[in-house]
A and B are shown apart, each in its own frame.
Chain A
Amino acid sequence: DTGVSQNPRHKITKRGQNVTFRCDPISEHNRLYWYRQTLGQGPEFLTYFQNEAQLEKSRLLSDRFSAERPKGSFSTLEIQRTEQGDSAMYLCASSLGTASNEKLFFGSGTQLSVL
């Protein structure tokens, strides 16, 4: 059990550029979640996968955001045409089972700065 791994740790980009983040969950964890966190706030849900199926997506999520989990293992989160308001910490979490109240294991996050 090596924990949830996220890459890169930091990303600085210019407004209008596309960025992609990767998350490797704990092996054999069924669910994978993406959250966003800004300074002084708690994590805000973006989307989650059960195996390779994307089961829920926040209504707050712009269509510039897309996430995939092609083989039910790692996941990518892409932001197209980044805006300064996208600057935040992007957190990935995974859980073993399929119940909503499973313990979440979080990665250390990817800090995005849009200039």
Chain B
Amino acid sequence: GDSVTQMEGPVTLSEEAFLTINCTYTATGYPSLFWYVQYPGEGLQLLLKATKADDKGSNKGFEATYRKETTSFHLEKGSVQVSDSAVYFCALSDLGDPNAGKSTFGDGTTLTVKP
């Protein structure tokens, strides 16, 4: 079945540091890939997505590139801010079955950015 593996946290960085959160996946079909973010006290919200190989999703200074050859979708940001402190979830949805509705999530990586 489908699965998503994220680098374990927590990750603690100083403000303006470079961020990478690794994500690799296993899928039977041809998945779309997502990063969701959960800020303290809030629900999950979509950060970015990519639907085909070599696509780059980007939002709020975050980027991730869909790498089919390495089955990866690593999240990066060049300069983090305190306000980026949150839990980040990598996820996939598989379009192989049009009735298949589920998204498969990784276990999340907690990021803390210190001033």
Contact = CB atoms under 8 A, between A and B. Distances in A.
Interface residues of B, number: 27
Contacts of A2: none
Interface residues of A, number: 26
B104 A45 contact: yes
Interface of B: 4, 32, 36, 42-46, 49, 51, 89, 91, 93-95, 97-108
Interface of A: 4, 31, 33, 40-45, 48, 50, 55-56, 58, 91, 93, 99-101, 103-109
A40 B32 contact: no
Contacts of A45: 102-104
A45 B106 CA distance: 12
A100 B42 contact: no
A45 B92 CA distance: 12
